[in-house]
Amino acid sequence: MKYVDEYRDGRLAGAIAERIAAEAARGRDYYFMEFCGGHTHAISRYGLEDLLPANIRMIHGPGCPVCVLPIGRIDHAIRLAERPEITLCTYGDLMRVPGPHGTSLLKAKAAGADIRMVYSTLDALRIAEAEPSREVVFFAIGFETTTPPTALAIRIADKKRLKNFSIFCNHVITPAAIASILDHPDVRTLGAIRIDGFIGPAHVSTVIGTQPYKFFAEEYEKPVVVAGFEPLDVMQAILMLVRQVNDGRHEVENEYIRAVTEEGNLKAQSEVAEVFELREAFEWRGLGIVPYSALRLREAFAQYDAERRFPVVTEPVRDNPACECGAILRGVKRPTECRLFGTACTPETPIGSCMVSAEGACAAHWTYGRFREDTAASVGQRAAS
Amino acid sequence: MNVTQKISKPYRRKLDLANGRVDLSHGSGGRAMAQLIADIFHNALDNDWLRQGNDQAAFDAPSGRMVMSTDGYVVSPLFFPGGDIGSLAVHGTINDIAMAGARPLHLSASFIIEEGFALADLDRIAQSMGKASREAGVPVVTGDTKVVERGKADGVFITTAGVGVVPAGIELSGDRARPGDTVILSGTLGDHGIAVMSKRQNLEFETQILSDSAALHGLVADIVATAGPWLRAMRDPTRGGLAATLNELAYQSGVGFRIEEDAIPVKPEVAAACELLGLDPLYVANEGKLIAIVAPEGGAAALAAMKRHPLGCDAAIIGEAVADERRFVQMVTAFGGGRIVDWLSGEQLPRIC
């Protein structure tokens, strides 16, 4: 497949792997966090760990929108969907995320709630137009990549004067999350996690550009390499990070020049700014309350805000005390360090959100990489030999 | 005086195959049902057994081991590029029988039809079943028709069952894979699932992707004739695709599998569509492919037999069974790293067959 296979070329990967191995200094370890779940997935899906030398450790970051959504928001969505007048439209990923007391959208649907899986915001708009007697609520979720389509849907709904369309807004902001990780005592003072550099987001950066990462590179002295989601992109970004660390540099570099510019997509940014404003605070699973880290609709579009339109009573919900999703999302723990991993918590019966989405660190490791945990011979060892 | 001569023959309105719709009377057991069965099903599937008009079909049982299988079909949409629910219902059950190494003999077909379903569509589906069954040489010898109220089904659901006979000396079962066995795939992956998906999502590709729906018993007969004694198991990778099938076989046999991504044939347009839809071809359904697990000494013969058959011309050895208590299906990716090919979790594509 043109323009895709080129970025999955095993021979080229081998050549980059040799360079990484040659340039990574012996006697030191390199800890790189890939922020995005898309990168986490690519690393597991293509078995990149088998191609990297042992002194390069990848730490999975919180860039998985489904994973960072706190249980309270799932509970809120379920309660919205249980109202008889509401049709809740959601991406399929969210259906299986566990809510409080063993609930989920999937179970609410089976119990009679009108919940429909859609592929895009525009599908939800179409349902609202086709069924004017239903209150159609779109479960809006995601980082900067999915915010512009939601903004567009709001503008279309406004233009068409759709009275029965609204969104349950959970859009969050990448730079705020990165700052939260770097400011966390685990990183700043306790030294519980070491991060030598970041692989910067792919799709998010097509919208926001590379500019917003400059602050982290300078203030926290951490190199950032923005990279695409193909496996060769990830390998190349790791090589670029190794070189920056070796040179003592901390710059923002762009590996993904075929899609990302310094200033990003200005049209999309202005669409978003017109429709959304910052929330003062938003709860993230794993990171807690992060100031100015999420969006809500501006006052002018309040009628499209399901939270304002359909008040529901929710109680604060705590994570399962044994679930380590929080620590895993901050990079403090690896999936296998959670005692629920692969025992009580599997993709079939997830307890934490990291086991639900294909981009979640636990799901990716369980689905693609768990053979590495055992002593028996693995294909990876054979492939590497 | 002979009174009966004065009674004129009752007028029998023909089924309106152009604009008519199935109503509840077509399932009530009365004349309307008899007419529907005669004009649509018997017409399309015609054979001696159906013509007898019994509630069952009687036939001589051949000697040897018999196999029996049944499958329900709920695919949406009912018509898709390369097939429809009718041909699928014939091919699918023939294939389930054939995977035992058997020669399929007879099929049954049961229809659950939603009130309001267009007679034209029902006729088209029945004709398609008739064509598929004649081409396969496996007649539909008995059937049943039910009509349910509007909203209680989605157009039409079909259940077919079938019987077949296994040649002497052939014993295939999913629990017979042993470490070292060769894994052969009969052709490209994902064609059926993507054909159905493309219709659902209104995706336009430069080349239209057709379902691979096909009856595989001819291919199976050739493999059995050439490599019969070495055959351990065969299975068609339908729902859940190659990934689900290999995991099932690994679980049943208590072995692992090790496959090579580079060896697995996938059409470029299917790979592109999977990329677009966020699907992995290893998990996408097939309706005209089989996986054969063959003792190592018979691998080459089985592969050659498959390649000689039109339905197996893209056949390839994709890996081998290995000793692994954890029963993992592992794959060397095209990128050179290793990964697990796990069971599918959740529903990747609902109602694909």
- The answer to whether position A27 is within a domain reads yes
E strand or H helix that includes residue A141 = strand A135-142
- The answer to whether position A39 is within a domain reads yes
Q: Are the beta carbons of A150 and A270 closer than 8 angstroms? A: no
Residue B9 has pLDDT above 80, yes or no: no
B339: nearest CA partner in chain A: A368
Q: Is A264 left (phi over 0), alpha (psi -120 to 50) or beta?
A: left
Cα A329-A330-A335 angle, rounded to 5 deg: 50
Closest CA to A79 of A100, A93, A96: A100
B51 exposure class (CB count in 10 Å sphere: 0-12, 13-18, 19+)? exposed
Instruction: Identify all chain B residues contacting A51, using CB atoms and an 8 Å cutoff.
Output: 335-337
Subunit contact B335:A48, Cβ cutoff 8 A: yes
> In this structure, what is the dihedral angle of CA atoms A358, A362, A365, A366, given to the nearest 10 degrees?
-90
Subunit contact B337:A48, Cβ cutoff 8 A: yes
Instruction: Identify all chain A residues contacting B262, using CB atoms and an 8 Å cutoff.
Output: 10
Question: What distance, in Å, lies between the first and last C-alpha atoms of chain B?
Answer: 61
More confident call, B320 vs A98: B320
Query: Rounded to whole angstroms, how far apart are CA atoms A282 and A177?
Result: 11
- The answer to whether position A205 is within a domain reads yes
**Which parts of B179-277 fold into alpha helices (H)?**
191-200, 217-227, 241-253, 268-277
The whole-model pTM stands at 0.85
β-strand partners of B67: B164
Residue B73: phi and psi, rounded to 5, are -120, 125
Is the preceding omega at residue A347 within 30 degrees of 0, hence cis?
Answer: no
Which of B335, B344, B347 to mutate: most A Cβ within 10 Å?
B335
B201 touches chain A (CB under 8 A): yes
CA distance, residue A125 to nearest chain B CA (Å): 16
Between positions 41 and 60 of A, the ones with CB within 8 A of B are 44-51
**Structural class in CATH, domain B24-166:** alpha beta
Residue-wise pLDDT for A227-271, tens only, equals 999 999 999 999 999 999 999 999 999 999 999 999 999 999 999
Subunit contact A376:B345, Cβ cutoff 8 A: no
- The answer to whether position A331 is within a domain reads no
Tokens of B260: 């090579």
Query: Rounded to whole angstroms, how far apart are CA atoms B241 and B263?
Result: 16
Q: Residue A16: which CATH number?
A: 3.40.50.11750
Between positions 65 and 104 of A, the ones with CB within 8 A of B are 92, 95-96
A13 touches chain B (CB under 8 A): yes
Instruction: Identify all chain B residues contacting A92, using CB atoms and an 8 Å cutoff.
Output: 346
Subunit contact B201:A119, Cβ cutoff 8 A: yes
Query: Rounded to whole angstroms, how far apart are CA atoms B180 and B257?
Result: 9
| pLDDT value of position B185 | 98
Q: How many domains does chain A have?
A: 1
B202 touches chain A (CB under 8 A): no
β-strand partners of A57: A31
Tokens of B331: 């794959």
Domain containing A190: what range? 5-64+181-254
CA A253 to chain CA mean position, Å: 21
β-strand partners of A139: A168
Residue B201 has pLDDT above 70, yes or no: no
Domain ranges of chain B: 24-166, 182-340
Average pLDDT over residues B181-188: 98
* Residue A326: how many other CB atoms lie within 10 Å: 20
Across the A:B interface, residue pairs with CB atoms under 8 Å apart total 86
Query: Rounded to whole angstroms, how far apart are CA atoms A338 and A323?
Result: 7
**Which CATH number is correct for B182-340, 3.90.1150.10, 3.30.60.50, 3.90.650.10, 3.40.109.10?**
3.90.650.10
E strand or H helix that includes residue B68 = strand B65-73
A348 touches chain B (CB under 8 A): yes
Subunit contact A45:B272, Cβ cutoff 8 A: no
* Residue A155: how many other CB atoms lie within 10 Å: 15
Subunit contact A379:B338, Cβ cutoff 8 A: yes
Subunit contact B346:A369, Cβ cutoff 8 A: no
Distances (CA, A) of A47 to A13, A35, A204, A362, A383: 11, 18, 24, 15, 10
Q: Are the beta carbons of A141 and A91 closer than 8 angstroms? A: yes
Between positions 326 and 345 of B, the ones with CB within 8 A of A are 326, 328, 330-340, 342, 345
Residue-wise pLDDT for B106-149, tens only, equals 999 999 999 999 999 999 999 999 999 999 999 999 999 999 99
* Residue B25: how many other CB atoms lie within 10 Å: 15
Q: Is A83 left (phi over 0), alpha (psi -120 to 50) or beta?
A: beta
For every one of its 385 residues, what pLDDT tens digit does chain A have, with 9 covering 90 and above?
Answer: 777 778 888 889 899 999 999 999 999 999 999 999 999 989 988 989 899 999 999 998 888 888 889 889 999 999 999 999 999 999 888 888 888 888 999 999 999 999 998 888 989 999 999 999 999 999 999 999 999 999 999 999 999 999 999 999 999 999 998 888 888 887 777 667 789 999 999 999 999 999 999 998 999 999 999 999 999 999 999 999 999 999 999 999 999 999 999 999 999 999 999 999 999 999 998 888 999 999 999 999 999 999 999 998 887 778 788 889 888 888 888 899 999 999 999 988 888 888 888 788 999 899 888 888 754 344 443 333 3
Instruction: Identify all chain A residues contacting B326, using CB atoms and an 8 Å cutoff.
Output: 371, 374, 376
